[in-house]
Amino acid sequence: MNPFWSAFVIFISVAMMIGCLWLLFANARGKPGESTGHVWDDTLREYNNPLPRWWLNLFVLTVLFGAGYLLLYPGLGNFGGWLGWSSHQQMQRHLEQLTRQSHLAYAALAGKDIPALARDPSALSLGRAVFLNNCAGCHGADARGAIGFPNLTDGDWLYGGTPDKLVETITRGRHGVMPSFKVVLKPEQLQALVDFVPYWSDPELPVLRRAAGVKQFTVTCAPCHGADGKGNPLIGAPNLTDDIWLFGGGRERVRETILGGRQSTMPAWDGTLSRDEIRVVAAYVYSLSHQQDAAP
């Protein structure tokens, strides 16, 4: 705030407090029973009775409290107050305290690998807090995901669910792309895939439909998803033989995916999260699909 506006704020503040006190005492001089001369309906008279003493004292104390506050704390323009307090300093002290507590908490977990952290209740508590603050927006507070966002509790992993892969995924992020086959496939080729892929593991799928689907799948999809349809974690190609679908596994969803393609991006958290935070959130995610090995 420049000096002019600082002086203006100080002047207005002080003038208002003085004006309040003047107005208060100027209207406290009345005498009991003294009439102002105002009469309504012949009998209704206005009297200039003094203010009650308790109310007057309370008002004066309120003004004095305000003046004392403005002398001790910021509020009068650029005047910082005799105590030198500021919200920035308070926030900084609080942040430093939280940082020290965080360092102590993470120091106790140093040297433990991801499975060991997944068995440590304090590590899981820290990891869950990091997850809720940074990951729940996409994967959900229960980590069960949604359409286009993977479920982290089922043990099915696009890029692998080992401890090292989890740390790598969180650190570097992922970008999965399935190209559109709209201009590549003929209607009958598209139909062969739609009739087969959603029902890959259905033992009641007619033999002719399976044969036609496998033939077209081998040409169109096998380079990424593998000839057996079980996917490729090196490129994030999903397993098509189970009942887990990132974008939905019904016929229309599969048709939409083949025609339009799909793109999925998980941002890299390196630089946003510390190495310790990445380790504990990886341990928390690891624990979700390894409940038998995780701490309660």
| Per-residue pLDDT in tens (0 to 9) along the chain, 296 residues | 788 999 999 999 999 999 999 988 887 776 776 777 788 877 788 887 777 888 889 999 999 999 999 999 998 888 888 998 989 999 999 999 988 998 999 999 998 999 999 999 999 999 999 999 999 999 999 999 999 999 999 989 999 999 999 999 999 999 999 999 999 999 999 999 999 999 999 999 999 999 999 999 999 999 999 999 999 999 999 999 999 999 998 899 999 999 999 999 999 999 999 999 999 999 999 999 987 666 66
pLDDT for the residue 152: 96
Q: Are the C-beta atoms of 150 and 266 separated by less than 8 Å?
A: no
Q: How many CA atoms lie within 13 A of 285 on its CB side?
A: 34
Element (H, E) at 96: helix 87-107
Buried/exposed code over 41-67 (b: 16+ C-beta within 10 A; e: otherwise): eeeeeeeeeeeeeeeeeebeeeeeeeb
Q: What is the pLDDT of residue 293?
A: 61
Residue with tokens 């004392």: 68
Look up tokens 């057996």; give the residue. 228
What pLDDT, on a 0 to 100 scale, did the predictor assign at position 147? 93
- 117 vs 290: CA distance, rounded Å: 12
Round to whole Å and give the CA distance between 73 and 70. 5
Three-class SS of residue 270?
strand
What pLDDT score does 39 carry? Answer: 84
Task: Please say whether the beta carbons of 233 and 160 come within 8 A.
Answer: yes
**Could you give phi then psi for residue 35, rounded to 5 degrees?**
-90, 145
Give CA separation, 131 vs 168, 272, 273, in Å: 16, 13, 11
Burial 17-34 (b: 16+ CB within 10 A, else e): eeeeeeeeeeeeeeeeee
The pTM (predicted TM-score) of the whole model is 0.73
Q: Where are the domains of the chain?
A: 3-72, 115-293
CATH of 115-293, one of 3.40.47.10, 3.40.50.720, 1.10.760.10, 1.10.1200.10: 1.10.760.10
Q: Which residue has the tokens 């793109």?
A: 263
